[in-house]
């Protein structure tokens, strides 16, 4: 006795088992859908590559910023130290051409202190010693260290009398502004400035 086969629109029953029949053709992606997906993926990868480039540029920029900050702060500290140790008189804390001033006034190449131990004076040593930075391994003092030249760095020291509340110059108080200028990753000039006051009274 043969088993009865009952067929419906969507269901075949054969030997007591129900089998669902698929209607229509099998689904898939059209060529247009594949092209659109590929374009979206490409845009995402290009954006990710741009992010990596920006991150690398920011890393180098932050190193340059830190060096500029250190050199500007070092300049101020050398003036304060010279004043506190009586190496400089209050009158000598001026730009060259102003009284007994010893500090060079213009934006000049960054230098290391000469025999007098003061930055931005006539006996400075140029170019300054390069900075040695850790290489890809992140360790200083290994074979992959990177040497960074400071020959593109410039510094300016501006010393003026501070002003009284009425706008007149205060002969007992001087304002010192140290600016370090350096090229950024894209070639644009960046600068870092620090300022402080020094008094004739100690």
**129-163 tens-digit pLDDT:** 888 888 888 888 888 898 888 889 999 999 999 99
Reported confidence tier of residue 54, pLDDT bands at 50, 70, 90: low
Q: Is 9 exposed, middle or buried (0-12, 13-18, 19+ CB in 10 A)?
A: exposed
Q: How far apart are the first and last CA of the chain?
A: 121
* pLDDT above 80: residue 112: yes
Least trusted range by pLDDT, from 5-14, 43-52, 75-84, 100-109? 5-14
Provide the whole-model pTM.
0.67
Q: Which residue has the tokens 């190193």?
A: 63
Mean pLDDT of 18-35: 67
In this predicted structure, what is the pLDDT of residue 196?
A: 93
pLDDT, mean over the chain:
83
Confidence of residue 1 (pLDDT cuts 50, 70, 90): very low
pLDDT value for 179: 95
Give the C-alpha separation, 149 to 153, whole Å: 9
How far apart (Å, rounded) are the C-alpha atoms in residues 198 and 177? 11
Contacts of residue 19, defined as CB under 8 A and 6 or more positions apart, other chains included, come to: 11, 12, 13
| Residue, of 42 and 60, whose pLDDT is higher | 42
- In three-state secondary structure terms, 8 is coil
Angle (CA) 172-194-115 rounded to 5° is 75
pLDDT at 9: 47
Q: Please write the tens of the pLDDT for every residue from 57-106.
A: 555 567 888 889 999 999 999 998 888 888 999 999 999 988 889 999 89
Q: Quick one: what percent of the chain has pLDDT higher than 90?
A: 36
Integer angstrom CA distances of residue 163 from 2, 168, 172, 176 = 115, 5, 10, 13
**Residue 18 pairs with which residues in a beta bridge?**
13
Would the CA dihedral through 86, 92, 94, 95 be positive or negative? negative
């Amino acid at each position: 006795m043969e088993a009865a086969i009952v067929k419906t629109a969507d269901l075949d029953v054969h030997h007591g088992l129900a089998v669902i029949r698929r209607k229509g053709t099998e689904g898939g992606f059209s060529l247009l859908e594949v092209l659109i997906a590929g374009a979206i993926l490409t845009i995402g990868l290009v954006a990710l590559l741009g992010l990596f480039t920006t991150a690398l540029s920011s890393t180098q920029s932050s190193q340059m910023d830190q060096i500029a900050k250190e050199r500007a702060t070092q300049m101020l500290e050398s003036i304060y130290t010279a004043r506190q140790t009586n190496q400089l008189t209050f009158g000598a804390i001026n730009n060259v051409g102003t009284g007994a001033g010893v500090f060079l006034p213009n934006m000049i190449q960054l230098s290391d202190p000469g025999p007098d131990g003061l930055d931005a004076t006539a006996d400075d040593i140029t170019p300054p010693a390069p900075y040695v930075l850790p290489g890809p391994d992140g360790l200083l003092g290994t074979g992959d260290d990177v040497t960074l030249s400071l020959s593109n760095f410039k510094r300016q020291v501006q010393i003026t009398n501070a002003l009284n509340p009425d706008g007149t110059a205060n002969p007992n108080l001087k304002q010192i502004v140290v600016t370090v200028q350096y090229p950024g990753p894209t070639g644009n000039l960046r600068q870092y400035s620090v300022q402080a006051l020094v008094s004739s009274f100690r």
